[in-house]
Chains A and B, each alone.
Chain A
Amino acid sequence: GENVEQHPSTLSVQEGDSAVIKCTYSDSASNYFPWYKQELGKRPQLIIDIRSNVGEKKDQRIAVTLNKTAKHFSLHITETQPEDSAVYFCAARSVDSNYQLIWGAGTKLIIKP
């Protein structure tokens, strides 16, 4: 079955700098890769996703890149702001998984003022 590893577990960056979080997956049949953000005390919410037929997707300050050959995908946040502080989860979905998502362990992003 699918396995998703996420790094780093904690990331501290200066406000205004960029942050990158990386995930690797094991199942080459996986075709959908979302990123969820969970602010302190709140529920996880989808912020961006990418499908396997696309290499990169952007939405304002956030972007996701996918390398199918290496089986990894990354979340990029530019010009970080205090409200970017949260736990970020990556996930992967395999065509055989009945719409289940396999989740990474999460990255706690800290934005230093």
Chain B
Amino acid sequence: DVKVTQSSRYLVKRTGEKVFLECVQDMDHENMFWYRQDPGLGLRLIYFSYDVKMKEKGDIPEGYSVSREKKERFSLILESASTNQTSMYLCASSLLNQETQYFGPGTRLLVL
């Protein structure tokens, strides 16, 4: 059974703070993804990674960076949080040549 976990379910930060969101998967998946989910906008891809130390920009990478130092862990970094980054953040993973994505429980981030 695939397990994808995220470091926090809820997070409250102040404008300008540096924020780290962590995602860990235990199924040796090569692909990992970070999405943000906003009402009426669906799932928007921020960044994804298909291998350790590899990353590619998604549709909305501005204001975010990522780190993948180990295969099982994919971190999303908000360098200087802003109020428009208040959202639900979902991490997902998949095998290299398979489309099915397995999601984490999400982190609801509030930036004040």
Contact = CB atoms under 8 A, between A and B. Distances in A.
Interface of A: 6, 9, 32, 34, 42-46, 49, 89, 93, 98-101, 103-106
Interface string B25-47: 00000010100000011111100
A34 B56 CA distance: 22
B55 to A, nearest CB: 12
A9 B31 CA distance: 29
20 contacts: A6-B42, A34-B100, A43-B4, A43-B104, A43-B105, A43-B106, A89-B43, A98-B50, A99-B50, A99-B94, A99-B96, A99-B97, A99-B98, A99-B99, A100-B33, A100-B48, A103-B43, A103-B44, A105-B42, A106-B42
B42 A101 contact: no
Given A34-B100, A42-B105, A43-B105, A103 B42 contact: yes
B40 A100 contact: no
A2 B33 CA distance: 18
A46 B106 contact: no
